[in-house]
Structure 1
Amino acid sequence: MFNPRADKGPLKQPPVPWSANESTPLLSKKISFDVPPKARRLSTSSRKYGTQDRTVDFSVPSSASQRRLSNVSARSTRSIARSIKYTHVGRSTFGQTLFNSIAILLGIGMLSEPLAFAYSGWVMGTIIIIAYGALSCYTAKILARIICADSRLRSYADIGRKAFGPRATGFISFMFCLELFSVSVILVTLYADSLHTIIPTYSANTYKIWGILVLVPTVFLPLSLLSYTSMLGIVSTVLLVLVVFIDGSFKTQAPGSFWEPAETTLGVASASKLGIAFGLFMAGFAGHAVIPSLARDMVDPTQFDTMINWAFVVATLIYGAIGYAGYLMYGNNVSDEISVDMLNTPGYNPLLNQAALWVLVLNPLSKFALGTQPLNATLEILLGLDTPIPTPEHVAKRPDSVSVSECRGKYVALKKVLAVIQRIVVTCAAVAVSIYIPEFSTMMAFLGSFSAFCLSIVGPIAAKVKLEGKCSKVDASIMVAGTVMAIWGTVAAFMD
C-alpha cells in the first residue's frame, strides 16, 4: 500500500492517557496529515471542553516554548473550570438579563409597601425588607447553579423533579396554578379599585362585573399580541414612583406631604398585622419561577450572581423608597393601595394623578390575559383539553394509522368548546373571588405568605439540600424561619 510518509519516517503518535472506546468520542476524530511534523495540537481535553484549538511550534527555543505553553495552559484551565460548572450558554447579555430581572421583580407589589410599613413599623419594616431581599437573592443563585449545572433542566419544575422525583411535579404545578390565580384576582381588584377611585359613580364590585366583558375576549388573544402590553407595566411602575415623589415634595401641608409627615410608629402594630406584613413584603420578591429561564438564557452564566445582586439591590431600593415615601405621607392611615390615597388627597396636581391612576386601570386589564395564559394552558393539559399534533417521527413509524383526520378526530371540536368554557370559567372565578375577598392587602399577603415563601425561599433551599445530601445550619435556619413566617402570614391574612 502506498504510504505518503514513507520518505519521512513513521509518524509518532502521542501517548493516549485513556483507552479508546465508545465513551471517548474524541478519539474517533481522524488525524489530519496536513499538519507540519513539527506542529502538534495541545491535549484533547481543550477540545473536549470547548476551548479554542491552538498550534504550538516546538522548533522555537525551549524557554519561549515553555512560556507560551504555560500561558495557553492557564487560559485553558480557566475555560475548563468554567465549562464544568456551567454546561449551557444562551443568547441574552448581562444588561438584557438585568433588565428582564428588574422588570419581573417590580410589579403591583409596590402599591402595598406603605401599608406593610404601617403594619410592621419603621424598624421592623426596614429589617424585613432588607432580609427578604437578601434571602430571595440567595435562593435565586441556588436555582441558577442547579439549572446551569445540568443541561437537561429547563424550568423550576424540572429542578423540583430532579430533586424530589416525579411525584413533586403535581405539587409544584398546583403551587404555580394557585399563584397565577391569586395574581389574576389581585389584578381584578386593582383595576376595579382604581376605576372606582377615578369614577366613584358605581361601586368597585360593579366595575368588577362589567370588567368580565373586557377580560373574557382578551384571554383568547395570541401571545404575540399580548407581549406588547408588558411594556405598559414598566411604564406604570416608573410613572407611579415619580408621581409619589412629586406629590410628596410639592405639597407643603399634611396629609400627603414630606414636609409635614403623618403619624407613624417605630414598633409593630400587632402580631396579626406583622404576619400580614410578612406576606406584603415577600410578594414583591416572588419572581423565582422565571429565574431558571433567565439563568439558562445568559450568554455568560458565570455573571449571573453579579447580575442578580444588582437586580435585587435595585428592587429592594425601589420598594423601600416607595414604602418610606408612602408611609411618611399617609402614616398609619394609609390605604391598601397607595394609589387610592393619591387621588383622594386634595392639593395634588389632578391631571398628573389621574394619568397615573388611568395607567393603573389599563395595566391590570392588559396583564390579566398574559398572566392567566400559563394557568389556562396548564389546566387544559390537566383536564385533557389540549389537542397535541403528532410528531413527524410518529407519522413515519405509523404512516397507515396516523392521519390528519385521526389527529383532528371527532372529539377535537368538543375539546375546543370545552377549552373556551374553561377559560371563561377561570375569568369569572377570578372576578368572583375578588368580590368575595375585596381587600387588596389580604390577597397580596396570601400571595406573599403561602405561595412566595414556598416557591422562593423554602423550595430552592430544600432542593439544594436534597441534591447535595447535606444541610448546613444556615440553610436549616432559613427553611424553619420561612416555614414559620409562611404559616403565620397565611393565617393572619385570612383572619384579617
Structure 2
Amino acid sequence: MEAGSQDSSSLAAPLIVDEKTHLLGEAEEVESNVCRLKTSTTSVFTTCFHGLNALSGVGILSIPYALASGGWLSLILLFFIASAAFYSALLIQRCMEADSVIRTYPDIGERAFGSKGRLVASVFMYIELYFLATGFLILEGDNLQKLLPNVEFDIAGLTIGGKQGFIIIVALIILPSVWLDNLSLLSYISASGVIASAIILGSIIWIGAFDGIGFHHKGTLLNLSGIPTAVSLYAFCYCAHPVFPTLYNSMKKKHQFSNVMLLCFILCTLCYASMAICGYLMFGSNIKSQITLDLPIQKLSARVAIYTTLVNPIAKYALMVTPLVNAIKGWFPYECKKKSCSFLVSTSLVISTTVVALALPFFGYLMSLVGAFLSITASIILPCLCYLKISGTYKRFCCDMVVTVSIILMSVAVVIFGTYTSLMGLIYKLSSTSAR
C-alpha cells in the first residue's frame, strides 16, 4: 500500500454537489458516502446531513436483536457506546487542530505513530469496508428470501437454495456498478441513508401501531450471556469515524464541528434506541438478526420497509469497495494501473465477498464480529491512542488522560469478549449448518 497520496485518493468520495462545492477524487463508503473537498465550503447544515448519513446504516436493522440479546438494561450500554464514540470524534477534531497537514483518517495514524500508524489505520478501515460489503450481500439474500420464500435455483443439475441463489444474483447485478469510473449517480442514491433509516423506522412503528402486531412483549430485564453480542452490535452502529476528518476539512466553520457531531450523535442514538425499543416490544426475545425478517410481508408497510432495505445496499456496494480497489491497485507497478487492472481487481473483490457471504451467511454474527473487533478499534481505540500521542497527554496525569485511558481499557474489554463471542457464534452456526 502506498503512503500518502494513495490513502488520500482512497478516502475521497462524491457527494451531492451544490454551486459552492467542488469535490475531489473517487468514491468511498464507510456505512454511508462522504466527501473529500478541495476547499472548506460546506455549511453546518450540509455537514449535519452528511454526518447523519455517515452514522445511519444497516445497523438499524439489527439494533432490536442487540437489545433482545442483552435485555432492557443493555440500553445503558448503547448510550455508553454512543458517548464514547462521540468523545472519540471530538478527539479526532483535536488531532486535526494540532496539525493542519492532517487531511484523512490514515494521516492521523501517521502523525501519531509514523508509517506503522498509517498502515494500521488503513488496514482496519479497509477490512471493515470489505466485511460491510459482504454483509450487504447477506442482507440482500435474507430479505429477498423473505419476499420469495419458496424459490430454488437449478443450474446444470445443481440445486441452489433460495438465499444462496439470491446472493449470487445480487452480486451479478452489482458487478457492472463496480466497473464504473464515474460513481456520481450512485452517490446520490447512497446519500439517502438518512431518509432510508427514517422510512424503515416509520414503517416499523406503523406496523406495530396499526397493522395488528402491537407492542405486547415484555422482554428480559438483563441477559448477561448476551451482553457481548449486544455491545458489539451497538458498536457496529457507530463505525463512521474514518470519514469524520473529511467532514471536518470540508466545513466552512470548523469551530462548529463539535456541535455538528453532538447533534448527529443525539439524533442517530434516539433513532437507534427507538427502533430497538419498538422492535423488542413487537417481537420479544425471538426477534431475528434483521427486524425485516420478522415482518408480515402481506402488509404494505412491511413491504415498504423491506424494499427500502434492499435498494440502498445495491447502490452503496460500489462506493464501498472503490477505496479497496484503489488500495490494491497501489500494490502494482504504474503500468499495470489501467482499466484492465481495475476491471480485474473490482471483479475479484465482488467474487471474494460473494464467496465469503455464501460461506458465512449469518448477518447478525458477522456484523457483531465487525462491531466488536473492527468498529470499536477504528472508531474508539485508535482515535484515543492517536490523541494521547499527538497531544502528549499520556505524559501527564490529568482528567483528560484518565477519561481517555478508561475508555481505551473498557473498549479493549469489549473487543476481547465481543470478538470471542462472535467467533464462537459463527463456529456454532457453521457446525450446525454442516451437520444438517
| Cα contact 1:198–1:343 (8 A) shared by 2 | no
Q: How many angstroms apart in 2 are the aligned matches of 1:263 and 1:299?
A: 48
1:235 Cα deviation from its structure 2 partner: 3.2
* TM-score in terms of structure 1 length: 0.72
1:121 partner letter: G
Secondary structure of residue in 2 paired with 1:165:
helix
Report if the CA contact (8 A) 2:53-2:191 is conserved: no
Q: Tell me which amino acid in the other structure corresponds to 1:262.
A: H
Q: From 292, 305, 311, give the equivalent of 1:356.
A: 305
Matched, 1:308 2:261: yes
Quick check: 1:489 aligned with 2:418? yes
Instruction: Establish whether residue 250 from structure 1 lines up as the match of residue 207 from structure 2.
Output: no
Pairing partner for 2:277 from 282, 304, 324:
324
Q: Deviation of residue 232 (structure 1)?
A: 4.1
SS, match of residue 272 in structure 2: helix
Counterpart mapping for 1:19-418 below 5 A: 90-123=40-73, 125-200=74-149, 201-202=151-152, 203-221=162-180, 222-252=182-212, 256-258=213-215, 261-270=216-225, 273-343=226-296, 350-384=299-333, 387=334, 411-412=335-336, 415-418=338-341
| Aligned residue among 460, 465, 484 for 2:388 | 465
Determine if contact 1:276/1:489 at 8 Å carries over to the other structure.
yes
Find the residue that maps to 1:343 and give its secondary structure.
Answer: coil
- The Cα offsets for residues 395-415 of structure 1, whole Å up to 9 and x where unpaired, read as xxxxxxxxxxxxxxxx55x85
Q: How far did residue 371 of structure 1 move?
A: 1.0
Which residue number in structure 1 is paired with residue 360 of structure 2? 437
Q: In structure 1, how many angstroms separate the alpha carbons of the residues matched to 2:281 and 2:270?
A: 16
Q: 1:195 to 1:232 in 2, by over 3 A?
A: farther
Tell me, in whole angstroms, the C-alpha distance in 2 between the residues paired with 1:422 and 1:299. Answer: 37
Aligned length: 371
Give the Cα separation in 1 of the matches to 2:391 and 2:404: 12
SS at match of 1:243: helix
User: TM-score, structure 2 length as denominator?
Assistant: 0.82
SS of the residue aligned with 1:285?
Answer: coil
Q: Which has the higher helix share?
A: 2
Task: Tell whether the 8 Å contact from 1:215 to 1:369 is kept in structure 2 after alignment.
Answer: yes
d(CA) in 1 for partners of 2:251, 2:362: 39
Structure 1 range deviating more: 416-425 or 431-440:
416-425
Deviations 1:117-165 (A, max 9, x none): 0111101x21111111111111101101211332211001111100001
What are the superposed Cα offsets for residues 53-77 of structure 1, whole Å, 9 maximum, x if unpaired? xxxxxxxxxxxxxxxxxxxxxxxxx
Asked if structure 1 preserves the Cα contact closer than 8 Å seen for 2:143 and 2:292, the reply is yes
Q: Would you say the 8 A contact 1:137–1:308 is kept in 2?
A: yes
Question: Are 1:295 and 1:304, in contact at CA under 8 Å, matched by a contact in 2?
Answer: yes
Aligned CA-pair RMSD: 1.7
Question: SS at 2:295's partner residue?
Answer: helix
Structure 2 CA distance for aligned equivalents of residues 314 and 181 of structure 1: 27
- Among residues 467, 474, 486, which one is paired with 2:403 in the alignment? 474
SS in 1 for 2:48: helix
TM superposition shift of 1:468: 2.4
Pairwise CA distance, 1:89: 7.9
1:28-77 CA-partner distances (Å, limit 9, x unpaired)? xxxxxxxxxxxxxxxxxxxxxxxxxxxxxxxxxxxxxxxxxxxxxxxxxx
Alignment-derived partner of residue 158 in structure 2: none
Which has more radius of gyration?
Answer: 1
Task: Give the Å deviation of 1:333.
Answer: 0.2
Shift of 1:473: 1.8
5+ residue gaps, structure 2, are 1-37, 153-161, 395-400, 426-436
Please say if residues 130 and 316 of structure 1, whose CA atoms lie closer than 8 Å, have aligned partners that are also in contact: yes
Deviations for 1:336-389, whole angstroms, at most 9, x for unmatched residues? 100111135xxxx622221221222222111111111111111111244xx4xx
Q: Which runs of 4+ in 1 moved over 6 A?
A: none
Counterpart Cα distance in 2 of 1:172 and 1:139: 15
CA contact (8 A) 2:206 2:301 kept: no
Equivalent residue letter for 1:382:
W
Does the residue aligned with 2:242 lie in a helix, a strand or coil?
coil
Structure 1 stretches of 5 or more lacking a match? 1-87, 388-410
Does the CA-based 8 Å contact 1:148-1:296 persist in structure 2? no
1:313 corresponds to which letter in structure 2?
Answer: I
Match of 1:15 in 2: none
Conserved 8 A contact 2:53-2:192: no
Contact 1:154–1:293 (CA under 8 A) maintained in structure 2 = yes
Q: Identity, % of aligned pairs?
A: 28
Give the Å deviation of 1:296: 1.5
